[in-house]
Amino acid sequence: MALPHEFGDLEQWVADWAIGEEAARNRKRLASSMGQLQAYYDALLPRMDAIIPHLNQYSLHALAPAEQTLLDLALMFMEAAPAVEIYRHPDVPWGFVAERFHILPA
Amino acid sequence: MNKPDFDTLHPYVRQYSDLGTGPVPVAPVVSPEYFERERETIFRKIWLNLGRVEDIPNPGDYVVRDIAILKASIILVRGDDGQVRAFHNVCRHRGNQLVQGSGNARGFACGFHGWTYDTQGQCVFVPDEEVFFNLDRGQVGLSPVRCETFAGFVFVTVNPAAPPLAQYLGGFGEQIGDFPFHTMRRMHTLKADVNCNWKVFIDAFQESYHGRFVHRLTAAAAGCVEDDPYAHLTSVRLYGPHRSASVPFNPGYQPTPAEALSFKYAQSLWLHEGNSGAQRTPGTNPAGHPNWLFDINVCFPNFFVDVSNSWFFTYHFWPVAVDRTHWEYNFYMLPPANAGERISREYSKLYLRDLLREDLSTVETTQAGLASGAIEHMILSDQEVAVRHQYKVVDDMVNGRWRG
């Protein structure tokens, strides 16, 4: 199992949605259908109040692999959220073209 | 709901009556000749921000900034003595570029003939030195660029006669100087090369009028209310060439479930302890407005430092050509103490990133419209006083009228 055992219900999302970098998470969002984004959002939202206290037990800079994967799922939830809650579309509907908008890590 | 405490729809023309109310000419954003005059009379004369001290925290850290409007490549480097300096990225031998990118080094060696300089710009090695003619290495250090720091922001100027940085920033620097910039950490950087004039680009970010339209699905809800449907700026302050404006907060704002989560575990992008005007972070909300979202702070000519209670961001608008600008954005928040804060901050970071996709959506089409010659003037409202101020300052400088 890639996740802490309390979060086995989320194991099915790990392969495609546990992504470690913002630019890659954004590409995943833009490449997904609304159905896929809604399903991911619906699966993660009710678990966030369990995920966060679980992860808060550990140092953010020394997470074990299972916890790091869980954090990546939570960050991907935040990436999916504007598409589902605000835009009702994978991308910003009339936004500046994504391919010319470069996202760089800190 | 609280309405801004103005007794007129035109407070800013009263406050800054010498700016006038008439239409503003289009020519400065489409004329290549005007662009060249801006290069000579503004960008080569003035302090320009190139980043923050945290970009080069340790001795030997360096970063190269290629500044098209100066036709210069500049190395920012922290010397072994801890001092931040700037140098032209130009070998003293025959002018080759020394280095690119960023990193940590004990010095810089030119790839052409091996001339080597240390992190204080001194020339320390010239290969085959004896075949030169009485070469004194002490006289061939890197050409320095004037470099000063304010509140951790690193500025340079190629003008030996520019006043000290703090004097240049004046009241603007005093307003924002105590903001806790140094306690925050960059979350990410966004960049784009955009086909518009740098001033057209800036205009999209220095009024709130566009919020109801460009941000109709997003930020409109955070600022617009029934008796203030266009989220009028609650404060505008002009400080010489610089300016600051405050954007109001809708106290009835309802976060989405994800934003509610973000606010539950940390301060959120829009929801924070400063919304009600109380618990103000130093350097914010100069008018102490009771419904406050964030401040727009424009450091002339091309640098924004917008601030909220628990974040700030910067925009740099680097002119490349009359109709091309290199844009860079950096977003900073307090470093997360735990995963909950990290996840909370992700919401804020991404929401604002998507908002900027909305903002960038108008500028190329606006530039194309202005370049067509269809109109010769722009019509500006009282709320667009910052836009008006920018054009006036630029035109005064270009035409030698600017007196500070």
Chain B residues with CB-CB distance to A101 below 8 A: 190, 192, 356-357, 360
Is the domain of B146 the same as that of B193?
A: no
SS3 (DSSP) at B80: coil
Handedness of CA B169, B294, B206, B66 (dihedral sign): positive
Q: Is residue B337 a part of any domain in this protein?
A: yes
Token output for A24: 């890659």
pLDDT at B272: 82
> Is B258 close to A85, i.e. CB distance below 8 A?
yes
- pLDDT tens-place string over residues B140-188: 999 999 999 999 999 999 999 999 999 999 999 999 999 999 999 999 9
Decide which of B128, B158, B188 is a domain's last residue. Answer: B158
> Is A86 close to B256, i.e. CB distance below 8 A?
yes
Instruction: Tell me which DSSP letter residue B31 carries.
Output: -
**How many folded domains does chain A comprise?**
1
Decide which of B124, B158, B192 is a domain's last residue. Answer: B158
> Is A94 close to B358, i.e. CB distance below 8 A?
yes
As a whole number of angstroms, the distance between CA B142 and CA B95 comes to 11
The total of other beta-carbon atoms located within 10 Å of residue A82's CB is 26
Distance from CA of B216 to the nearest CA of A (A): 10
B329 and B356 Cβ atoms separated by less than 8 Å: yes
Q: Is residue A101 a part of any domain in this protein?
A: no
Q: Is residue B2 a part of any domain in this protein?
A: no
> Is B350 close to A96, i.e. CB distance below 8 A?
no
Q: Mutating which of A28, A52, A84, A91 best tests the B interface, going by the most B Cβ atoms within 10 A? A: A52
- pLDDT tens-place string over residues B268-300: 888 888 888 877 899 999 999 999 999 999 999
The domain spanning residue B97 has which CATH number? Answer: 2.102.10.10
Chain B residues with CB-CB distance to A79 below 8 A: 346, 350
Q: Is residue A10 a part of any domain in this protein?
A: no
Is the domain of B107 the same as that of B17?
A: no
Distance from CA of A50 to the nearest CA of B (A): 11
Q: Mutating which of B188, B269, B334 best tests the A interface, going by the most A Cβ atoms within 10 A? A: B188
> Is B218 close to A105, i.e. CB distance below 8 A?
no
Q: Is residue A98 a part of any domain in this protein?
A: no
Is the domain of B194 the same as that of B109?
A: no
pLDDT at B56: 98
- A35: domain range? 17-93
> Is A92 close to B354, i.e. CB distance below 8 A?
yes
Q: Is residue B355 a part of any domain in this protein?
A: yes
A96 vs B188, B189, B361: nearest CB: B361
At B391, which amino acid appears?
Answer: Y
Decide which of B103, B132, B158 is a domain's last residue. Answer: B158
Is the domain of B80 the same as that of B147?
A: yes
- At A12, is the pLDDT very low, low, confident or very high (cuts 50, 70, 90)? very high
Q: Is residue B382 a part of any domain in this protein?
A: yes
Token output for B398: 């270009």
The domain spanning residue B28 has which CATH number? Answer: 3.90.380.10
Closest C-alpha among B393, B350, B315 to residue A29 = B350
Residues near B294 by beta carbon (within 8 Å), at least 6 away in sequence: B246, B247, B284, B306, B307, B308
pLDDT at B276: 84
Q: Is residue B308 a part of any domain in this protein?
A: yes
Interchain CB contact of A62 with B (< 8 Å)? no
Distance from CA of B339 to the nearest CA of A (A): 5
Chain A residues with CB-CB distance to B349 below 8 A: 22
Q: Is residue A104 a part of any domain in this protein?
A: no
As a whole number of angstroms, the distance between CA B269 and CA B355 comes to 12
Q: Is residue B1 a part of any domain in this protein?
A: no
Closest C-alpha among B197, B226, B230 to residue B317 = B197
A52 and A106 Cβ atoms separated by less than 8 Å: no
Q: Mutating which of B218, B342, B355, B367 best tests the A interface, going by the most A Cβ atoms within 10 A? A: B342
Q: Is residue A3 a part of any domain in this protein?
A: no
Is the domain of B52 the same as that of B142?
A: yes
**How many folded domains does chain B comprise?**
2
Whether the pTM exceeds 0.90: the reply is: yes
Is the domain of B148 the same as that of B17?
A: no
Is the domain of B248 the same as that of B379?
A: yes
Sheet strands (E) in B101-255: 102-104, 107-109, 116-118, 123-125, 144-150, 153-157, 185-194, 235-239, 242-248
pLDDT tens for each residue of chain B, 404 residues long: 555 554 578 999 989 999 999 999 999 999 999 999 999 999 999 999 999 999 999 999 999 999 999 999 999 999 999 999 999 999 999 999 999 999 999 999 999 999 999 999 999 999 999 999 999 999 999 999 999 999 999 999 999 999 999 999 999 999 999 999 999 999 999 999 999 999 999 999 999 999 999 999 999 999 999 999 999 999 999 999 999 999 999 999 999 999 999 999 998 888 888 888 877 899 999 999 999 999 999 999 999 999 999 999 999 999 999 999 999 999 999 999 999 999 999 999 999 999 999 999 999 999 999 999 999 999 999 999 999 999 999 999 999 999 86
Is the domain of B324 the same as that of B294?
A: yes
SS3 (DSSP) at A14: helix
- Cα-based distances in Å from B175 to A7, B47, B252, B390: 48, 18, 29, 19
Q: Is residue A23 a part of any domain in this protein?
A: yes
Q: Is residue A7 a part of any domain in this protein?
A: no
A81 vs B258, B353, B356: nearest CB: B258
Is the domain of B245 the same as that of B352?
A: yes
Is the domain of B104 the same as that of B210?
A: no
- pLDDT tens-place string over residues A43-67: 999 999 999 999 999 999 999 999 9
Name B246's bridge partners.
B235, B295
Interchain CB contact of A60 with B (< 8 Å)? yes
As a whole number of angstroms, the distance between CA B386 and CA B316 comes to 17
SS3 (DSSP) at A43: helix
Q: Is residue A71 a part of any domain in this protein?
A: yes
Is the domain of B204 the same as that of B231?
A: yes
- B102: domain range? 48-158
* ipTM above threshold 0.95: yes
Closest C-alpha among B197, B205, B201 to residue B324 = B197
pLDDT at B3: 56
